[in-house]
Amino acid sequence: MKNVLIIGASGLVGSYLYRLISPECNTVGTFQNYPLDDSVYLDITSIDAVRKIIDETQPDFVFLPAALTNVDFCEENKEACFKINIEAVKNIALILKDKKAKLIYFSTDFIFNGQNGPYGEEDLPAPLGVYGQSKLEAEKAVRENLVDYLIIRTTCIYGWEPQEKNFVVNLIKKNRVGSLVEVASDQITTPTYAGSLAALSWKLAKAGKEGIYNITGSTVISRLDFAFLVAKVFSLNRDLIVGVTTEQLKRRARRPLNGGLKIAKVEKEFGIGISGAEQGLLEMKKEKHG
């Protein structure tokens, strides 16, 4: 049986990975602030703690979804962001350098400026803000220090999560208590169901794939139209969803407007189609309501 270490198993992506992989492998998942199931505490900024858990678990696969993911918080807290999103990732890569483990690192379309998305794996990154910059630097650290790695770029992930912070869960929660939600009509993305992301990431890892792969849903859509799709699937009140421009939202960090990612590479190599936004939302709904 293979050994799998999921660093950040308490997060959105990590929790889907943990539920998927733990029945199949000896799996250890970590948390920092929000313990989940039988996850163990780990702060990735402690090199000794990271080394210890890797020595103890002897992983064949290390999934690394752990990161500071709040884009606006990162914009205002560059030092903390770089410490977790770059330095810690670099240290993990260095520790794994002489180990048998494959590293699966998760990155984002925020490494691009959003002038001409959706983006392919070969397109030239040009991040608009601190978060995107940190993820791009981390990708570089992974590439420079490891041979056996997967960098999985993704975007706009949705699914059930204990902290209820992703776009879809947040929208459902607010809509059901009658709150208006403003949604950007000028941000184009390719929404990604966390269940599909976890399944495909695991498939790529087991197939021995290496390098950079985009994994997102197949629908290119504005955030506003995606919100209307959420309303349709989860029977929400559409009137409580208000379209605004990104500028009107006055967020700290700039967003790539024409973002999203192309998935032709992964679809071609696996001969499969990745489901679209409506299908992903229906799968998410089914997960809870059967």
Ligand X SMILES: NC(=O)c1ccc[n+]([C@@H]2O[C@H](COP(=O)([O-])OP(=O)(O)OC[C@H]3O[C@@H](n4cnc5c(N)ncnc54)[C@H](OP(=O)(O)O)[C@@H]3O)[C@@H](O)[C@H]2O)c1
Q: Which residue is nearest to ligand X (CB)?
A: 11
> In angstroms, what is the C-alpha Rg of the chain?
18
- Minimum CB distance to ligand X, residue 31 (Å): 4
Report the residue number, 26 or 45, with the smaller CB distance to ligand X: 45
Q: Could you identify the residue written with the tokens 């163990």?
A: 40
Q: Residue 11 or residue 195: which is nearer to ligand X going by CB?
A: 11
**8 contacts 15 by C-beta, under 8 angstroms:** no
Collapsing DSSP states into helix, strand and coil, what is residue 15?
A: helix
Q: Which of 161, 144, 130, 142 is nearest to 31 (CA)?
A: 161
Instruction: List residues bridging with 31 in a β-sheet.
Output: 41
Q: How far is the CB of 271 from ligand X (least distance, A)?
A: 25
Residue closer to ligand X (CB basis): 173 or 238: 173
Smaller CB distance to ligand X: residue 66 or 271? 66
Residues 153 and 28: their CA atoms lie apart, in Å, by 23
For residue 243, list its beta bridge partners: 183
Q: How far is the CB of 231 from ligand X (least distance, A)?
A: 19
- Bridging pattern class, strands 26-31 and 3-6: parallel
The region, left, alpha or beta by phi > 0 then psi within -120 to 50, assigned to residue 221 is beta
When the beta carbons of 13 and 266 are compared against ligand X, the nearer one is 13
Pairing of the two strands 102-108 and 61-64 = parallel
Query: Closest distance between ligand X and the C-beta of residue 34, in Å?
Result: 4
Strands 192-193 and 241-244 come out as: unpaired
CA distances from 5 to 15, 118, 230, 255, 279 (A): 12, 31, 33, 32, 30
Shortest distance, CB of residue 96 to ligand X, whole angstroms? Answer: 16
In the complex, minimum distance from the CB of residue 235 to ligand X, in angstroms, rounded to a whole number: 24
Which parts of this chain interact with ligand X (CB under 6 A)?
A: 8, 10-14, 31-34, 42-45, 65-69, 84, 106, 108, 135, 154-157, 166
Pick between residue 81 and residue 241 the one whose CB is nearest to ligand X: 81
